[in-house]
Amino acid sequence: MKSLFLISAFSFFFFSISVAQPNRWQQRVKYNMKIDVDTLSNRFTGKQVLEYSNNADDQLDKVYYHLYWNAFQPNSSMDNRSRELGKQIINGRQDWDSRVKDRILNLKDNEIGYQKIISLKMNGVPQKYYYHETILEVVLSKPILPKTKVIFEMEFEAQVPLQVRRSGRDNPSTGVRYSMSQWYPKMCEYDYEGWHPTPYVAREFYGVWGDYDVTINIDKTYKIGATGVLLNANEIGWGYDKPNSSLKPINSVKRSWHFKGENIHDFVWAADPDYKHIVRKVANGPVLHVIYNAVSGNSANDSSWMNIADVAVKVLPFIESHFGKYPYPQYSFIQGGDGGMEYPMATLISGPSLGTIFHEWMHSWYQMMLGTNESMYAWMDEGFTSYADDLVSKFYYQKSSKKEYDDALKLNPNNEKLKNIILSIPENHSGAYANYFALVKSGLEEPMCTHADHYNNNFAYSVDAYSKGEVFMEQLGYIVGDSIRDKILLAYYNAWKYKHPNPTDFIRVAEKVSGLQLDWYKEYWVHSVKTIDYSIDSIWEENGFSKIRLKRNNPVPMPIDLQLTFKDGSTEMHLIPLDLMFGVKKVEGSQKAIIEKEWKWASPTYTITIDRRLNDFIQVEIDPSKRMADVDRDNNSVELK
């Protein structure tokens, strides 16, 4: 006999769980770099002193560096990969990154990028090294023993590539002279899985936590935005020392900019003679910098960039209350790059789009402070960020009143800017679900655990990393309850910031906070391309009771929210737990809920009995919130007439 428990009689105990700080060792770096830039040849020389702490229990006989700019040479792996993907036609278009296409193949000698090592010493002793295009392999003359530190001294030179992807010079769309990302020889990460010398083919990054002390010597007319705090602000001026100050005059040909960032895993900067600088100070929070090109023909006007600064101040309290405290003393929104690309304490953005701003800033939480290996788990970076920026956008536009925009559009129906603003307002992650369903329908889906560079096509990567990752988080709210999911996110941030978490680490936090078993969710959603499809199979009356049989048509098992609507206007929510969860989510909202017996995942059908006559019903619906990514929602609802 089935037992029904009204929520008023069902005791659901939820304890506030303090998630213990994980004890996972981390390697550590301290960079001290000085570079000298020749803006005529677009080259620079550099000296790098790197203190490397081997906190592992392993002896290291080699180390590896990233040399990212070597990708911007004809017939490089990035060039070949882009052109090969471009041979595929998906959804009527070539499947290459439209920003790259075959542009690398056509770069001239003075337009390519390169990073060359002039000398490399460890503790004063020259080391042997070998180039593998974008990876430098260093065979050590003496191993680095566990729990010891060494000093690497390097001299290098580089040529800034013509802007193709993320970094480079003379960006044709933004007018920015230098977007300096992935610009220095960067130590590869060594973690509990070993070395990660990932070649630069297209996508994601992984870095070692540490401190950066960077001095940039460049033509005195150039202005710079960067990661970190400007230590010589009194010498520079230009709003860094006090609001609205001018760039201070000097007699020398070049000016030195000295930045320092602590507890970060990368460093970015950008430079242009025509940059403008807006500064905002958040009460009890960071200094915000907005730096943009004032003369580009494609640049928006000053008010648009001013709006970026003002909006950032408005949304930060919401961000911190939902995702954790921003711990650094500053953040910079810098015009440059080729769209939007995140780095510690800064982002490069091509224009003042609020949607881009929200997304790139949220990367500070889901990459810059958590530091997941995004090559392996891109969905934990892009997907979690997409989920978060959707919430930030909702908060901002609701606060700004969507009605104001709608009313303004009625008065100015041809105003494209207003149309774009309204179109950018998200609605319940619906775009992410639509993209995921389109990927499933295409038959091109690959597991989310696929390495970011190894997807068969850009389409599958993009939807998996951004949209399916976003759906993962919204659907988690369906499984455990939205309020519990929100607590999971804060607990995850507090437990794993600065520690490179992986999917299992996230799921363990979710299990501890929710009190539910969730490993099955990770296995189905991350490690497979199996899909969800539940339906209402049949409804009938028997001995004065109504029977409802549900059917699982596709392999992924899920708990079920079943809502009944009656002719008297009342509704009733029935929660059907999944046996693999060993529990049930906390009831959401104020609606009356009934906890049913668990559905055994191996059983394709499930029948519940309702103490109502069949002619009392108006509608029976599976998942009225539509948070479950059911690939066929047409069979989720039945109206009884």
User: Cβ(583)–Cβ(515) under 8 Å?
Assistant: yes
Q: Residue 613 belongs to what domain range? A: 5-15+531-639
545 and 624 together in one domain: yes
Q: Percentage of residues in the chain with pLDDT exceeding 70?
A: 91
Structure tokens at 98: 């439209």
Per-residue pLDDT of 216-245, as tens digits, reads 999 999 999 999 999 999 999 999 999 899
523 and 537 together in one domain: no
pLDDT at 589: 82
Q: Percentage of residues in the chain with pLDDT exceeding 90?
A: 86
Read off the pLDDT of each residue in 148-167 and give the average, rounded to a whole number.
97
Domain boundary among 396, 430, 463: 396
CATH number, domain with residue 552: 2.60.40
The helix (run of H) or strand (run of E) holding residue 512 is helix 503-514
361 and 307 together in one domain: yes
Read off the pLDDT of each residue in 392-397 and give the average, rounded to a whole number.
91
362 and 229 together in one domain: yes
As a whole number of angstroms, the distance between CA 58 and CA 194 comes to 9
- Does 391 fall in a domain? yes
Read off the pLDDT of each residue in 354-376 and give the average, rounded to a whole number.
96
In 365-481, alpha helices (H): 378, 384-400, 402-411, 416-424, 430-442, 458-462, 469-480
pLDDT at 23: 81
CATH number, domain with residue 208: 2.60.40.1730
pLDDT at 406: 61
pLDDT at 336: 95
336 and 401 together in one domain: no
Domain boundary among 465, 495, 527: 527
As a whole number of angstroms, the distance between CA 177 and CA 198 comes to 28
520 and 424 together in one domain: yes
Confidence class for position 296, pLDDT limits 50, 70, 90: low
256 and 369 together in one domain: yes
Per-residue pLDDT of 270-284, as tens digits, reads 999 999 999 999 999
Q: What is the DSSP string of 623-640?
A: -TT--S-BS-GGGSEEE-
Per-residue pLDDT of 303-337, as tens digits, reads 999 999 999 999 999 999 999 999 999 999 999 98
What is residue 525's three-state secondary structure?
helix
43 and 159 together in one domain: yes
Strand duo 340-343 + 545-552: pairing? unpaired
- Does 79 fall in a domain? no
377 and 476 together in one domain: no
Q: Computed over its alpha carbons, how large is the radius of gyration of the chain?
A: 27
423 and 387 together in one domain: no
As a whole number of angstroms, the distance between CA 537 and CA 540 comes to 10
pLDDT at 6: 35
510 and 489 together in one domain: yes
Alpha-carbon torsion, ordered 475, 479, 482, 484, to 10 deg:
-130
Weakest-pLDDT range from 43-47, 422-426, 447-451: 422-426
Domain boundary among 367, 396, 425: 396
As a whole number of angstroms, the distance between CA 167 and CA 68 comes to 10
159 pLDDT more than 90? yes
DSSP H helix total and E strand total for the chain = 14, 34
Give the count of domains, the chain: 3
Strand duo 28-38 + 210-219: pairing? parallel
511 and 538 together in one domain: no
Per-residue pLDDT of 22-44, as tens digits, reads 788 999 999 999 999 999 999 99
Q: Whole-model pTM?
A: 0.92
